[in-house]
Structure 1
Amino acid sequence: MTTKATRKGQFYGKKYGQEFDFITSSKKDKQHAFCKVCRRDVSIAHGGRNDIVKHTKSKLHVDSMSMRTEAHSTMKLTSWASTSQDLNVTRAECLFTAFYLEHNIPLSAASHVGPLLRKAFPNSEEVKKFSSARTKTTCLVHEMAKDGQSRMISSMKASPFAISTDGSNTSSSKLYPIVVNYYDSEVKQVVCSLLSMTELEDQSTGENIAKLLITELKKHDVPWQNCTALGSDNASVMVGRLKGVGTYLKECQPEIIVLGCPNHRIDLAAKAASSAIPFSIDSLLIDVFYYLEASVNRKLELRKFQKLCGNEVQAVLKHVCTRWLFLGQCLPRFLNQWNALQIFFEEEQKPKGKGAKKQSPADQISPNIQAFRIPKMLPGSSNMTSKSADGVSSILASKSSSSSTPPSTSKGSSPQRHAASQGEKRQVDGTVQTCKRQRTESVKTTKKPNVHPPVAAASKVGKPSGSSKKKPSTPKPSVASSHGRNTSKTEEGNEETRQQRIATALQSKYKLAVAHFLSQSISAFDRKSVILQTRSPYVHKLKRELEGLLLDLYSKFVEPEAIKAVTDLTYVNYKNPKNQKEDKELVIGSETRDIMDKELDDTDCKKFFAMVRLYYTKACDYIVTKFPLKSVVLAHAEVADCSLRVNAKFSSVKYFTDKFPCMLFVKEDETKYEATDILQSQFLAYQLADIPEAVQNETDCDKQWAVLAAEKDPSGQLCYDRLAKVMLGILTIPHSNAECERVFSQVRKNKTDFRGSMSTDVLSSVLITKAQQRGPCYSRDFDDKFLRRAKSATYRTLNESDARVL
């Protein structure tokens, strides 16, 4: 007897999707199909195609198709591109969006702009159609970001580019902006723009960061062969030889260039040099700032001394050690206020009034009466009655008057009143001063209105002023400052308060001379750092700038003969004392020299000059060992400098075309060798020809080569088109990582504590759009093609299966 074969059922095939455009494969299993109209899975196990036909006739599918058709008809009827007025309305919405982004205004403010404009311009027909609230504005931001990304990716696929990245901590993840240097043919210059802002959920290892970059470029189908360099800071996770990001990226692009960031290196060189200074000027600046920041009264008091010294009233800047050479901005202002600060802290050390300097009538009173503490008079209570001597009556009067007013330092102030209110009214370093006879008694202070916060615990009492000339008492702090580092140990083992530490430092003429020297010497680092933070390409001058910094430092303490005796600056024997200048010839600044001649003795001068030599030596040590002064890439990159064209070598051009074949333009009917010969002939013609005036008028090297790329000979043929492509490819190599730091500054301006819920997707679109803006918001132009896409941006964003989180 024959048995029937078991039926396995029907499975989904691609032919179903080709026949029915609304049918696609189902995620459920292969015996189901997914209907895009109804948004549901349809079983095809029994009839296959017949089941799909039955589904199209069902009431659910018919109703869904009808609603979809009506929606499309409504969109066509409300097509905004039919009139120029609608185009102007959408353009206005895009301009307002650009305005929000440029000025870091929350996108939620867009919800009030439409009603506000209609209220201000009730008769304008275009304003009546203006309707761009938060949701639509966010969708416009996404559309602008997509438009900028598409143009950037097109350039990356067709020409050389370089990528840069750096990590930034957020509340739950780490953001890695991918910044791209490429030549933009529309603006005819090398630009630096943000491609994406991605999150790294795993550990920030070199391998994971490299995978993130590889995945991002693969998502946009960008070939790694066009990538010339990786820009980053100098952390080992980025530039390490074994497990750095550059090492992993060489698996995709073996010739990728990894240079690190010269700005970071310059900052580290300055810090290495400052380690020779016997005290921390950073700590002094921070101590002074936080001491003044804690009290408005202190700032007002300092202003009086600034005016008294004839200085401009200026605030003491907050020194931030993580900012590149921020000390060069804080220190000059601090030195201008040195005398005023010195007098201010000297006065802060003294008790208020004249009773602390000479014996007052209260000192002659009986110890029992002198130790008596007047209780605080409560508001509304009756006057206190007390029988005392005539000498104590003044204390009672001053005590009663001080219950509502702070102690005064005027000429008529009573020293007894000051002694009674000293521990209650003044909180400078967290101490309470009273008479020594109360040492064994617990002193209870009463909190007063309009004074500093109460002290947690009373300290030991010091000796009265004038009772001992050899060893005046030092108050012992009981409460640490909220800013930390409130006390330190002195040489004798006693605790020194911040106030005393500052006053001691400001009184030292040696430290004043060191501060002036540091202000003068750090300017050499500061100048180079500012130059290398430029947005324009600068890799063709990077080697000379770094060598110029080293030469500048040599000239300050090394004899010229020792410098000129070598051709390579790294071989200068600057550590040999015989090659160093005499003390009187060392460059320390005229003001520093004047202070030394007038204020310091021979011992301090010898110690100071030894410090100066060590300072310059440490700076040169770091530059010689850490800077890329012998980089072959930087040496060959100088060929892109038009001012050096006469002495340039074609071997430098060939170095880059061999390393990056994407720089060499080869036609379909040409071989690589023929293209190289044509490139060399253009290079030779470029060396001999006169530079056009249009090129000389441009200051940036990339703009000069953009003009040369369009130069034609008498026959109408382009003269330097192939050579210009190579040079512009060289100029894409990043000279620093400053652009990534700029992106992080924009992150802090857009994702603030008040807008902490902004998603990474929206933040990325905001930053990409801001990076694409080349001018002020009111000068932006939007073509009709983009405006048509912008109109439907809200519909597409809200209906995409992978819709963004708004």
Structure 2
Amino acid sequence: MVKEMAALHMSDLATRMKHQPLSIATDGDNDADKKQFPLVVRTLGSGGLVNSELLALPVCPGSATGENIFKLMDSEFKAQQIPWENCISFGCDNANVMTGCHKGVIASVRTKQPNVHMAGCCLHLVHIAAKKGAACLPPVEDILVDIFYYFNKSVNRQTELKGLQELYDVEQRKMPKHGCTRWLSIGRCLERLLKNWEPLIHFFRDEKAKTKGIGSHATSKAEGIHLFLRSPTNKLFCHFLSYTLKVYDQVLVQLQAEKPMVHSLRANLVRLVEDLFSRFMEPGAVFGVDIGKVQFEQRSKQKDDTELLIGSKARETLAQPTKFRLREKRISELFWAVRCYFQTVCRYHLDKLPLADQVLVHATVANPGERMVVRASALDHFLDTFPALIPKDATKDSIKEEFAAYQTAAIEDAVDNDECTDQVWKNIGVKYPRYLKLSFVMRGILTIPHSSAGCERVFSSVRKNCTAQRASMLPETTEALLVCKSRPGHFLDKEREHSSQTLESLKSAYYMSLQQ
């Protein structure tokens, strides 16, 4: 029955894709046996809001080249008779197989839709930048991984650590696992490490003594971890990194949000870079200067060591060098590494983030909060580049006339800052029918993805459904389950209205399943 339900959903989604602007995103999983590529589509649902739904979960039959991945998408479009002209954006991660201008997926997509916008994943870029910056510091990541695996499979070691945590009056909790593919999980792990610093020093000091002379792998790991933890400067580095990683919290929440965020994506990315600048740059070197022209690598433009933002915990430690056995040379190394960290992440962000992407620059036109200052040229960019945004019964001139009137109209009663932007635009179209076509255009712009989080959520669902107890589940069954699950609201929600034809199809499928 689930396959019949999935078929109905796919048919409904395909119908909307035929007549509306849409964005499609894909990504590959890490399973070498069956390379699945979820085709996640963002378009307007039956309720008029931006939905992210799974169109299909095909398996790539050959090698995962850009051409073969594109064929998966193209075959679905052909099977459902969906015109590529309606596709305004292609979302993906930043791998060459996706973004390559000659053999990447985007190159093949542009043979069908030359103006398609490529929405790379800023979420991955932020993670990579933070990781590259941390390479300027001691190997904190390696130590966190070693500590986790040292306790992971040993009940005796875990019990011994709990006893030390009780002795040092520390909450008895396990050391969390740091996921290297999602590098900023290191923040949570660092907080736990710092809380358990003394119990861990005690534990690994005893472990080192116990295994002395044995020469085992565990002995070398215990010695390496103890050597790292006994250094007061390493703890200082951990305090700095734990404090600094919090600068990414807000932008990561925004990049992983399900609601449309493309209209504020560039502003959020710029705010992130400016926040990083403020931590180590003199205000006069940043104020009034274009973000791409800030001379952040010049030492004369940076703050003194005493003014760098490194966190109160680190400052409290530095204020008592004798108590914490801090040598002057190591303190100098700390500040050099801090500057290296900030310069590295800022350079990567400026080089890699799409701050100059014209779609992101002009997407602020869809932000109702910016309606008084945004230029009509921003709307022109979308209408000229993506004709699919223009409703069938409208023209470019009529849309621009609605936009000019909207900018000066009193529509505050339709704008709720606590609501999602697509809901705000739906409210504007409902309460003020004269802006109905403009509302459709703006919601079409909001279908452009702001990260590849939608594909990642599909992979999470795949892992939850394809468990060891379901090892024989066919890819077609997995696809049907996830297609149904991706539909906003449960498919059989009592509050959802279904056509009599849909209900009859479901009943028929149910009776057939009982007879099998």
TM-score range, shorter chain: over 0.9
CA offsets 1:530-571 (integer angstroms, 9 cap, x no match)? 2210000000000001101100110010000000141x2011
Say whether residues 1:792 and 2:491 are aligned partners. Answer: no
Q: Distance in 1 between matches of 2:206 and 2:224?
A: 14
Q: Which amino acid aligns with 2:27?
A: D
Match of 1:549 in 2: 272
Say whether residues 1:141 and 2:32 are aligned partners. Answer: no
Say whether residues 1:690 and 2:420 are aligned partners. Answer: no
Q: 1:193 aligns with which of 53, 57, 60?
A: 53
Q: Distance in 2 between matches of 1:189 and 1:793?
A: 30
Q: 1:244 aligns with which of 86, 89, 104?
A: 104
Say whether residues 1:647 and 2:373 are aligned partners. Answer: yes
Task: Please report how far the alpha carbon of residue 796 of structure 1 lies from its aligned counterpart in structure 2 after TM superposition.
Answer: 6.9
Q: Which amino acid aligns with 1:570?
A: G
2:23–2:447 Cα contact (<8 Å) kept: yes
CA offsets 1:767-791 (integer angstroms, 9 cap, x no match)? 0001114259765646343221112
RMSD: 2.0
Q: Which amino acid aligns with 2:120?
A: G
CA offsets 1:311-330 (integer angstroms, 9 cap, x no match)? 11111001111125111111
Q: 1:697 to 1:524 in 2, by over 3 A?
A: closer
Q: Which amino acid aligns with 1:684?
A: A
Correspondences of 1:641-720 after superposition (within 5 Å) = 641-667=367-393, 675-696=395-416, 698-712=418-432, 718-720=433-435
Local SS of the residue matching 1:719: helix
Match of 1:586 in 2: 308
Q: 2:41 aligns with which of 148, 167, 180?
A: 180
Match of 1:105 in 2: none
Say whether residues 1:223 and 2:223 are aligned partners. Answer: no
Match of 1:253 in 2: 113
Correspondences of 1:306-705 after superposition (within 5 Å) = 306-351=165-210, 475-478=213-216, 480=217, 486=218, 497-566=220-289, 568-598=290-320, 599=324, 600-667=326-393, 675-696=395-416, 698-705=418-425
Q: Which moved more, 1:143-152 or 1:761-770?
A: 143-152
1:145–1:768 Cα contact (<8 Å) kept: yes
Say whether residues 1:767 and 2:482 are aligned partners. Answer: yes
Task: Please report how far the alpha carbon of residue 704 of structure 1 lies from its aligned counterpart in structure 2 after TM superposition.
Answer: 0.6
1:325–1:526 Cα contact (<8 Å) kept: no
Local SS of the residue matching 1:195: strand
The aligned length equals 511
Q: Which amino acid aligns with 1:645?
A: R
Task: Please report how far the alpha carbon of residue 171 of structure 1 lies from its aligned counterpart in structure 2 after TM superposition.
Answer: 5.8
Q: Distance in 2 between matches of 1:791 and 1:776?
A: 14
Q: Distance in 1 between matches of 2:152 and 2:479?
A: 36
2:148–2:176 Cα contact (<8 Å) kept: yes
2:115–2:385 Cα contact (<8 Å) kept: yes
Local SS of the residue matching 1:193: strand
Task: Please report how far the alpha carbon of residue 264 of structure 1 lies from its aligned counterpart in structure 2 after TM superposition.
Answer: 0.3
Say whether residues 1:271 and 2:127 are aligned partners. Answer: no
Q: Distance in 1 between matches of 2:483 and 2:70?
A: 21
Q: Which amino acid aligns with 1:199?
A: V
Q: Distance in 1 between matches of 2:356 and 2:32?
A: 41
Q: Which amino acid aligns with 1:280?
A: P
CA offsets 1:468-491 (integer angstroms, 9 cap, x no match)? xxxxxx51525x4xxxxx5xxxxx
Q: Distance in 1 between matches of 2:491 and 2:77?
A: 30
- The structure, 1 or 2, with the larger RCO (C-alpha pairs under 8 Å, 6+ apart) is 2
Task: Please report how far the alpha carbon of residue 794 of structure 1 lies from its aligned counterpart in structure 2 after TM superposition.
Answer: 5.3
Q: Distance in 2 between matches of 1:732 and 1:724?
A: 13
Structure label with greater radius of gyration = 1
Q: 1:778 to 1:245 in 2, by over 3 A?
A: closer
Task: Please report how far the alpha carbon of residue 655 of structure 1 lies from its aligned counterpart in structure 2 after TM superposition.
Answer: 1.0
Unpaired runs of at least 5, structure 1: 1-139, 352-427, 429-473, 481-485, 487-495, 713-717, 800-805
Task: Please report how far the alpha carbon of residue 221 of structure 1 lies from its aligned counterpart in structure 2 after TM superposition.
Answer: 0.2
Identity level (%): 37
CA offsets 1:653-685 (integer angstroms, 9 cap, x no match)? 111111111212343xx8xxxx22222221111
Q: Distance in 2 between matches of 1:786 and 1:523?
A: 49
Task: Return the TM-score normalized by structure 1.
Answer: 0.61
Q: 1:754 aligns with which of 466, 469, 479?
A: 469
Q: Distance in 2 between matches of 1:653 and 1:796?
A: 52
Q: 2:142 aligns with which of 274, 283, 286?
A: 283
Task: Return the TM-score normalized by structure 2.
Answer: 0.95
Q: Distance in 2 between matches of 1:506 and 1:777?
A: 55
2:24–2:40 Cα contact (<8 Å) kept: yes
2:366–2:442 Cα contact (<8 Å) kept: yes
Task: Please report how far the alpha carbon of residue 584 of structure 1 lies from its aligned counterpart in structure 2 after TM superposition.
Answer: 0.4
Q: 1:544 to 1:739 in 2, by over 3 A?
A: same
Say whether residues 1:726 and 2:449 are aligned partners. Answer: no
Higher helix share: 2
Q: Distance in 2 between matches of 1:285 and 1:170?
A: 26
Q: 1:729 to 1:781 in 2, by over 3 A?
A: closer
Local SS of the residue matching 2:111: coil
Q: 1:724 to 1:739 in 2, by over 3 A?
A: same
Q: Distance in 2 between matches of 1:309 and 1:775?
A: 49
2:51–2:488 Cα contact (<8 Å) kept: no
Q: 1:212 to 1:637 in 2, by over 3 A?
A: same
1:264–1:324 Cα contact (<8 Å) kept: no
